A = this chain, B = another copy of it.
Amino acid sequence: MMGKVYLIGAGPGAADLITVRGMRLLESADVVLHDALIEPAMLDYAPNAKKIAVGKRCGQRSTAQHFINKQIVDAAREHGVVVRLKGGDPMLFGRADEEMRALEAAGIEYDVVPGITAALASAATLRRSLTLRGVSRSVALATHSRAADSDAIREQAKADSLVFYMGRDSAPDIAHQLIDAGRPGSTPVAIVEACSTPRERTLTLTLAQMALGCAQEWLDPSQPSLLMIGEAFRERASAVKPRVHLKGMQAAA
């Protein structure tokens, strides 16, 4: 017996932000191998499936990738419908490539079901379009896990809207490097934490404030966060909803 594997994007967090296709595959799954950060409510779509938590938690490699690959291949040799449920979208900062290669090497059939990536879900939360006619015509999605990654930052600095995944700890470095690359200190920054979950929070500040470390105290290291930088994230007067004041910045919880 040889099962089929579905690499499914769970989306940003909320159980109803998975695709209909993803939900239906979960309903028919025999096994679900899921990232540690998946919201528990999403697993309720698969009440009868065996659930195995495999993913890495916030940069911490709780399970090595090669072991995850082996678990997926082993599951497909024992079960019919195997779901590999990954946070966000599998094809963006998701290491799906390594899992697909392992499945191909083992001769196991698979399909990929896309998921809502955090940049789009966060834009919906903020009610800010990532692209704006005449203001922002391109978006760069990047990651920055090492502070030494300054060349990559400089290369991205010219895209109109910049979105950094996994940039929490290097937020001040990213801001410094963007300012060095010519971005004004007054450029708006929006940070969305735990997007679409009950723990969702947003903070708006400027690039100069982020360079000074103003966001670091506000950020919760146990939650995923997204840095969104560019004129597209400037608040509209008609839509401002400040709820919390924090060191001169506006935060909405």
| Chain A residues within CB distance 8 Å of chain B | 9, 11, 14-21, 23-24, 89-98, 100-101, 104-105, 111-117, 120-121, 123-124, 127-133, 137-143, 152, 155-156, 158-159, 236, 238-239
Shortest C-beta distance, A89 to chain B (Å), equals 5
CB distance from A219 to the nearest CB of B (A): 22
CA distance A11 to B20 in the complex (A): 11
Chain B residues with Cβ under 8 A from A115's Cβ?
Answer: 116, 120
List B contacts of A138 (CB < 8 A). 140-143, 152, 155-156
Main secondary structure of the interface of A (DSSP, over half): mixed
Known: A129-B94, A156-B138. A120 touches B124 (CB 8 A): no
Q: Which residues of B contact A94 (CB under 8 A)?
A: 129, 131
Q: Known contacts being A91-B120, A114-B116, A238-B104, is A19 close to B11, with CB within 8 Å?
A: yes
Total copies of this chain within the assembly: 2
- Nearest residue (CB) in B for A138 is B142
Which chain B residue has the least Cβ–Cβ distance from A120?
Answer: B114
Contacts of A111 in B (CB 8 A): 124
Partner of A19 from the list B95, B116, B238 (CB cut-off 8 Å) is B116
- A121, chain B: closest CB distance, angstroms: 5
- Chain B residues whose C-beta falls within 8 Å of the C-beta of A9 in the assembled complex: 120
A139 contacts B92, C-beta separation under 8 Å:
yes
A127 to B129, CA, bound (A): 28
Q: A139 CA to B18 CA in the complex, in Å?
A: 22
Q: Are B91 and A123 in contact (CB under 8 A)?
A: yes
A81 to B: closest C-beta gap in Å: 16
